[in-house]
Structure 1
Amino acid sequence: MATDKKPADTSAPLLIKRYASRRLYNTETSDYVTLEDIAGFIREGRDVQIVDLKSGDDLTRQYLLQIIAEHESRGENVLPLGVLTDLVRSYTTDIQSVVPQFLAQSFDMLRQGQEQMMQNFGTQIPGFEALQAQQEAFIKAMTGGMASGMGQNWSGPSAEPEETKEDLSEIKKQLADLQDKLSKMK
């Protein structure tokens, strides 16, 4: 239902208000939006904040998780069953406090690997920006914003010198080690 109106300031989070009727209202364009519209804003790189109009409670995390759940239920499986199981377990164990940091670091390493791949190929991969936006939304949903400062504002290949293939192998090894440590903490 979102209109084609362009927001004036895309650096500030887009404020969405939830009315008692559970309808979501875009304060910049003065129209009602759906979860899919909100997912679209996020894919475009826009931060959103969803608040309850009456109580003022921040509902952003709840709605981001709902967007992820809807995509997963439609067969757009990004999260392996084992990861979902480990996430559920992490809510009832002592490792709950390290999970957000682990996820943030894992996605940071994934972004670094993607950057290296982009530098090696020297070309744009179709759908790369959408994948990047989905990853950032996932990180925000899973870490509750604790990932800030951990590479979350990655904006594509940088002008840094190319890393070697050994560096990419090292990143892959570190990610595997982190996943192994998390599995052993069960």
Structure 2
Amino acid sequence: MRVIRKYANRRLYDTEQSRYVTLEDLRSLILEEVPFRVEDAKSGEDLTRTILLSIIIEQEQADSDAEVFSNDLLQQLIRVYAMSQPLPLARYLEQGTRLMMEQQKKMQDQWQQAMRHSPMELMRELAEENMRFWQNTISQGGTSQGGTTKDDDERSS
């Protein structure tokens, strides 16, 4: 697991790559499914959750069209924390999000499969196959059509 150290000056240091990184760099690691842990440089305390929340906040502020957490949802989450017996919300959110992402991946795969067999895709594949055929035929010269080649010309001389 990759270790990222957070220093007092709020800088993040990737110990594997020996360089300072940004929240955007960590977001890329998440998208690439690279496991990492963020720890305080002095105490070794695990700060991963705090950094992940910071990445979400940055993402929410950067793209208002892709807003995931509405004000209403955030208020409801705060109410869950205030309950005397909080709901096992984390498990439900994790499972629901995992299911949603799996379904999204399946839909994308099915869409790509459907597009691969569309009439336009079939025509494109046929055109590419024809181009390869003609390129091979031209590169072989006239040998297969009974024409003369350089070797034939040299033998007749």
| Interval containing the TM-score (normalised by the shorter chain) | 0.5 to 0.7
Instruction: Among all aligned residue pairs of Structure 1 and Structure 2, give the percentage whose two residues are the same amino acid.
Output: 37
Helix, strand or coil for the counterpart of 2:59?
Answer: helix
Aligned to 1:68: 56
Matched, 1:19 2:1: no
Matched, 1:82 2:68: no
CA gap 1:34/1:115 in 2 versus in 1, 3 angstroms: closer
Q: Count matched residues.
A: 112
1:99-114 equivalent positions in 2, closer than 5 A: 99-114=89-104
TM-score for both structures, normalised by structure 1: 0.54
- Distance of 1:16 and 1:115 partners within structure 2: 30
- Distance of 1:115 and 1:20 partners within structure 2: 40
TM-score for both structures, normalised by structure 2: 0.63
Higher helix share: 2
- Distance of 2:38 and 2:99 partners within structure 1: 29
Give the drift of 1:116.
3.5
Aligned to 1:46: 34
RMSD value, Cα: 2.1
Segments ≥4 residues shifted beyond 6 Å: none
Amino acid corresponding to residue 106 of structure 1 in structure 2: G
1:92-171 equivalent positions in 2, closer than 5 A: 92-94=82-84, 96-123=86-113
Amino acid corresponding to residue 107 of structure 2 in structure 1: M
- Distance of 2:12 and 2:106 partners within structure 1: 39
Amino acid corresponding to residue 25 of structure 2 in structure 1: D
Runs (5+) with no aligned partner, structure 2: 115-157
- Distance of 1:107 and 1:71 partners within structure 2: 17
Give the drift of 1:67.
0.8
Q: Deviations over 1:64-110 (max 9, x none)?
A: 00110111122241223332222111111145241111101211221
Q: Deviations over 1:105-151 (max 9, x none)?
A: 21122123224423532449xxxxxxxxxxxxxxxxxxxxxxxxxxx
**Larger gyration radius, structure 1 or structure 2:** 2
1:28-47 equivalent positions in 2, closer than 5 A: 28-47=16-35
Aligned to 1:140: none
Runs (5+) with no aligned partner, structure 1: 1-12, 125-186
